[in-house]
Amino acid sequence: MRPEALNPLFAEVETLEGVGPKLKKPLTRLRLERIRDVAFHLPERFVSRRPVANIDEAGEGEQIVIALTAVEHRASRSSRGPYRVLARDDAGNVIALTYFGRASYTARKQLPVGEKRWVAGRLERYGDMLQIVHPDHVLEDGGASLGHLTEPVYRLSEGLTQPLLAKLVAQALERTPDLPEWIDPAEVVRERWPDWRDALHLAHRGEHPAARDRLAYDEMLANSLALMLVRADNRARRGTPLTGDGRLRAKLALPFPLTGAQQRSIAEIEGDLAQATPMLRLLQGDVGAGKTVVALEAMLIAAEAGAQAALLAPTEILARQHFETLRRMAAPTGARVEILTGRGSSRSGGKVREATLMGLVDGSVDILVGTHAIFQEQVAYRNLALVVIDEQHRFGVSQRLMLAGKGKRAPHVLAMTATPIPRTLQLADYGELDVSKLDEMPPGRQPIDTRVVGIERMEDVIAGVARHLEGGQQAYWVCPMVRESEEGDTAAAEARFAALRERFGDRVVLVHGQLAPEAKDAAMERFASGHAKLLVATTVIEVGVDVPAATLMVIEQAERFGLAQLHQLRGRVGRGAEKSACLLLRSDVLSEVARDRLKLMRETQDGFRLAEEDLRLRGGGELLGTRQSGETLFRIANLEQIARLLPTAHDDARLLMEHGGGLEGPRGEAVRLLLYLFERDAGVRTLRGG
């Protein structure tokens, strides 16, 4: 139950004066749905204005407050033209106050001829005349205008204005209660931080540089505590100790010897599995670093110990890919590997599905690979003791909990990600997990020749693809969207497929997320078997698709993708012994960030370096392609604050949990409020979803 003291903050935004159905829409677009959200909607920047006695004291482009007397109103002949109010300062200089559209009605009312008004805005030049376009404030009282010398600028959506949002923020701040201190008092004194409520008020006024740091620290402390609680909860649960005798692993026939990083990771996992406390480990490996082999070794340990393992994949394509790879690698061991995907898939239907379900119950199935279908109620296991979650950020809390409930005891969990996580975010995003890192490439992997090509050379690129296919090799062609956008400027997979099919006939297949599973399966099957030579796709192939004979990747409008995505897509080639190439097709107009991104792709294939650079370029807005919806882990803390303050917040959380009484006592009570305030309370009870 949420503590009563926080109820005013969690009231709906409609309880603010002036918010009706019309205003709720733009507020919802900004995710401002409760009073708390509005209070935490901090300014993006502040406008600083200087009071001047006359125009001669001001510079062009400067934000000023000045007393002006209207002398003439001039309407434009055209309805689209500007409406100008000519006004005089105290020294007799004439300036234009310029309005467009419906704002002219406001100008008529606010600026009567012959009366002095205080005007705030940016001084600009238009031709021979100085002007202020759409003044920010026009006030009768000089004293009141000076209250606007420093003013917050908020992020808006269509239907909102700065003054309107500022009024809603003021109302939300009035409702914020005084709350007890949850930060270590020594830290508050050292940093000279105001208390929580004062910090919130000061952050909206821009008057106290430490106020915003204080709020960011609160958010990071809540996150760190939630992860510590998840970890403590996991350690308190009973798992099944798994000790293998090596009989199955000894029969594995791997194409390459294990790298040092793989051997180290397997040893770490083996040590975890032998404990009664359930393992909670993240296996972090760059594209092609051999995570699947490490996962198979872990699952064979479970099988040797008489238990079962399940590998959970985010998509049917990836589940099938893992199934084929694992079945092939595990064949010499005699371990039984089966697959279970959605009920709608004909390939998992009927008798095969029934036999798989029976094998899970009687224990004859050692390893199950599947999508969310392995959560279904009718899927029962004899002894599920290890769960491997691939691309773990794609799974939510409820799915992970349902899976945890499938074992007799809490299963060991190995989460895998091919997205290298920058050091800056390790504590923030994976604080409850032990981390194993695959930072070596298996022998035999050749570097991929990466080139950036202008879109105007499309015909040359298609001719190059033709030569590639004639040589008996396969290729991918990736587009940013499924269908053309309304603006018609975005490469769409369906249109590109149609054009390439005219040139190459039925050697081309199409895969995207909106196709029926059977159609996707059939296209992938044709490509994987070599019957189709060119696969046109969206980013549905970003993760895990493994066709060693494919040695060319074309990414159209590459500037539209993040670095992490580009790196993942490039990793689909270079998986065999042949030399591979990746062509990044770019548009004519590139932003500076897009230019930097493409340059980095040319320079390096080190996913860990690219992850750090991706974070720098994105500024933490979309963390390495793992949050495609734009959702961010932190609402207040920015990247610089995370780098500077997170280690301290993490240490504070650890000390509180280990030596400070945790959630008990006066500080523990305050910390409970903090967890609910930042909606990290779910972390107290459940395994966090990515």
CA atoms of 109 and 117, how far apart (whole Å): 12
Instruction: Tokens for 668, please give them.
Output: 């523990």
CA atoms of 417 and 421, how far apart (whole Å): 9
Query: How large is the average pLDDT for residues 205-232?
Result: 88
Query: pLDDT, tens digit, for every residue of 126-151?
Result: 988 999 999 988 988 777 666 667 88
Please return the burial class of 317, using the count of CB atoms within 10 Å of its CB with bins 0-12, 13-18 and 19+: buried
Max CA pair span of the chain: 98
Determine the pLDDT at residue 608. Answer: 78
Evaluate if residue 625 carries a pLDDT over 50. Answer: no
Determine the pLDDT at residue 424. Answer: 62
Query: How large is the average pLDDT for residues 664-668?
Result: 87
Q: Which domains does the chain have, with CATH numbers?
A: 1-44+157-176 (1.10.150), 46-153 (2.40.50.140), 249-438 (3.40.50.300), 449-604 (3.40.50.300)
Q: Which residues pair with 417 in a beta bridge?
A: 284
Query: pLDDT, tens digit, for every residue of 1-49?
Result: 788 999 999 999 999 999 999 999 999 999 999 999 999 999 998 988 9
What type of residue sits at position 137? H
Evaluate if residue 484 carries a pLDDT over 50. Answer: yes
Evaluate if residue 650 carries a pLDDT over 60. Answer: yes
Q: Which residues pair with 284 in a beta bridge?
A: 417, 437
Determine the pLDDT at residue 578. Answer: 82
CA atoms of 605 and 570, how far apart (whole Å): 9
Determine the pLDDT at residue 538. Answer: 85
Query: pLDDT, tens digit, for every residue of 429-446?
Result: 666 678 888 888 777 677
| Distance set, CA 511 to CA 35, 508, 524 (Å) | 44, 10, 7
| DSSP β-ladder status, 434-438 and 449-454 | unpaired
DSSP H helical segments within 331-457, as ranges?
Answer: 350-362, 397-404, 423-430
- CB 240 within 8 Å of CB 201: no
Determine the pLDDT at residue 428. Answer: 66
pTM, 2 dp: 0.67
What average pLDDT does the structure give for the chain? Answer: 85
Query: pLDDT, tens digit, for every residue of 607-622?
Result: 878 877 877 776 544 3
- CB 423 within 8 Å of CB 252: no
- CB 290 within 8 Å of CB 259: yes
CA atoms of 280 and 290, how far apart (whole Å): 20
Angle at 553 (CA atoms; ends 550, 557), nearest 5 degrees: 160
- CB 206 within 8 Å of CB 46: yes
Query: pLDDT, tens digit, for every residue of 555-610?
Result: 999 998 888 788 888 988 887 778 999 999 998 888 888 898 899 999 988 887 88
Composition of the chain by helix, strand, coil, percent to 5: 45, 20, 35
Beta strands in 344-484 (DSSP E): 367-370, 384-390, 412-417, 434-438, 449-454, 474-478
Determine the pLDDT at residue 368. Answer: 96
Determine the pLDDT at residue 224. Answer: 87
Q: What residues contact residue 291 under an 8 Å CB cut-off, 6+ apart?
A: 283, 285, 416, 418, 438
- CB 590 within 8 Å of CB 440: no
DSSP for residue 492: B
Direct distance between the N- and C-terminal alpha carbons of the chain, in angstroms, rounded to an integer: 24
Would residue 469 be called left, alpha or beta, if left means φ above 0 and alpha means ψ between -120 and 50 degrees? alpha
Instruction: Tokens for 533, please give them.
Output: 């030579």
Evaluate if residue 684 carries a pLDDT over 70. Answer: no
Query: pLDDT, tens digit, for every residue of 366-419?
Result: 999 998 888 777 888 999 999 998 875 544 444 555 555 565 678 898 988 877
- What three-state secondary structure class fits 123? coil
Determine the pLDDT at residue 631. Answer: 40
Determine the pLDDT at residue 290. Answer: 86
Evaluate if residue 488 carries a pLDDT over 50. Answer: no
Instruction: Tokens for 496, please give them.
Output: 């590109």
Evaluate if residue 259 carries a pLDDT over 70. Answer: yes
Task: Count CA atoms within 13 Å of residue 283 on its CB side.
Answer: 33
CA atoms of 485 and 487, how far apart (whole Å): 5
Instruction: Tokens for 404, please give them.
Output: 């945890």
Determine the pLDDT at residue 626. Answer: 36
Evaluate if residue 474 carries a pLDDT over 90. Answer: yes
Percent of the chain with pLDDT over 70: 88
- What three-state secondary structure class fits 677? helix
Query: How large is the average pLDDT for residues 337-359?
Result: 77
pLDDT band, residue 208 (cuts 50/70/90): confident
CA atoms of 30 and 683, how far apart (whole Å): 25
Determine the pLDDT at residue 487. Answer: 44
- CB 352 within 8 Å of CB 323: no
Cα 668–chain centre separation: 31
Query: How large is the average pLDDT for residues 491-500?
Result: 86
Highest mean pLDDT among 301-310, 350-359, 522-531, 567-576: 301-310
What type of residue sits at position 669? E
Determine the pLDDT at residue 501. Answer: 93
Name the least confident of 338-352, 509-523, 672-686.
Answer: 338-352
Instruction: Tokens for 631, please give them.
Output: 């959702």
Determine the pLDDT at residue 406. Answer: 61
